[in-house]
A = this chain, B = another copy of it.
Amino acid sequence: MTTIKDVAKQANVSVATVSRVLNQKGYVSKQAERSVKNAIKSLNYKPNAVARSLYHKTSGIIGLFVPDISNPFFPELARAVEDAATSEGFTVVLCNTDSKQEKEEKYIQVLQQKYADGLIIATGTDSIEHILSTNIPVVALDRYISDHIPTVVSSNKAGAIDATEHLIAQGCQFIAHLRGPKGVTSADDRYTGFKQAIEDHSIAHVVVEAGFEIGQSEVATRNLFEKYPSIDGIFAGSDVTAAGAMRAAYQCKRAVPKDVKIIGFDGISLGEMLTPSLSTIQQPIYEMGQQAAKLLMMMIEKKELPSYWHEFSTTLKIRETSTGSE
């Protein structure tokens, strides 16, 4: 690797001068600048990022914490974060935490040792101390941590109301809600929205916890069909659990959407791959990831944040699982 010394020698100046033209900082004569630039080009010199890091105590690295990138909600988010970060010259380190505090702590330690500039946290753990006690910028994505941490979420409650009212408008008389895990902010908010819509319209309903995974949801829905044969609408807490409900309907010989209408939540690409295609509440996933990255980079650059709360509207996406009666 060629270093700043090689460039200085070739250009017949000191390393200080090379550094000045590199950073466009301080006075440099036209002539010196020209010969340095030539030397840089002819040697194909690229400054060593590690040496810069050591001096500046920054690295251009940001950590992205997700529970598990295999969970289909997170890749789209990760893509958005990475795009936004890369466009500003940052690099993103992927951290799968399985929502385990111990893993989060390990990642935080390793990242701090590398002078990571910031963290985007899209995972939920019970304890938040280890996050609050870190001294690097953090933004919370798709979850709430604390009022002191900038937060990017979607309108989970309003979206859940839209979903439920859509089912009601489609004529559903007995609606089941497959709710996500208790204690997970988004799942709780969706539940609250469901409850409110149901009460506003006095519709028969039942709520069951179905995690965020397909297996659990499939079993839960099957049990539901057995216990309450007259269920004709399902609001699933996520698109993945909606897919589970569709599988259960198939197994129990209920036609979708004819016998039972189903709507999910998230708007991940899975929904369009299902047959029939899944109606859902679309979160602007890409925009959310992008926003989180932008906020983090503003914090890193010590800019004032316009707000600590960024809530994105959801939109009702009507596809095949909730429409008509075919």
A residues touching B (Cβ–Cβ < 8 Å)? 46-51, 53-54, 59, 61, 64, 68-72, 74-76, 78-79, 82-83, 89, 91-96, 109-115, 214, 240, 243-244, 246-247, 249-250, 269-270, 272-277
A243–B47 alpha-carbon span in the complex (Å)? 47
The 8 Å CB contact of A78, one of B59, B69, B243, is B69
Residues in B neighbouring A59, C-beta threshold 8 A: 50, 114
The 8 Å CB contact of A274, one of B70, B240, B274, is B274
* Apart from A47-B113, A82-B95, A249-B275, 5 more pairs, CB < 8 Å: A48-B54, A49-B115, A50-B54, A70-B79, A247-B277
Q: List the 5 shortest-distance A-B pairs measured between CB atoms, nearest first.
A: A49-B113, A243-B273, A250-B275, A94-B94, A69-B75
A249–B276 alpha-carbon span in the complex (Å)? 11
- Does B276 contact A250, Cβ atoms closer than 8 Å? yes
- 30 A-B Cβ contacts within 8 A? A48-B54, A49-B110, A49-B113, A50-B54, A50-B113, A51-B54, A53-B53, A59-B114, A69-B69, A69-B75, A69-B79, A70-B75, A70-B76, A70-B79, A72-B270, A75-B75, A79-B96, A82-B94, A83-B96, A91-B110, A91-B111, A92-B94, A93-B94, A214-B273, A243-B273, A243-B275, A244-B273, A247-B275, A250-B276, A273-B274
